[in-house]
Amino acid sequence: MEHRKVAMVGPGGVGKSAITIQFINLSHFFNAIDPTIEDSFQKRIKVDDILVNVDITDTAGEEGTRYDSKPLPVV
């Protein structure tokens, strides 16, 4: 079984928590969520017939932080 870690990063109020919760539990979508300090989630998914454990860290928005548009390497 594979194991991957994902960090949701970006400015505050852009929907990081909403999209994380939508991915974890497809039956819920929240229009309003309390601001996140930091939450962790786990989900097991199947990718190309391989089971993958995904650890997701949903971070707080960081106001005033410049996010580079360069893609991060896939590990």
Distance from C-alpha of 30 to C-alpha of 27, rounded to nearest angstrom: 10
Taking residues 21-40, report their average pLDDT. Answer: 74
**Torsion angle in degrees (nearest 10) through CA of 54, 59, 61, 62:** -120
User: Minimum mean pLDDT among 7-16, 23-32, 38-47: which range?
Assistant: 23-32
Global confidence as pTM: 0.68
Average pLDDT, the chain: 80
Every domain of the chain and the residues it spans: 2-59
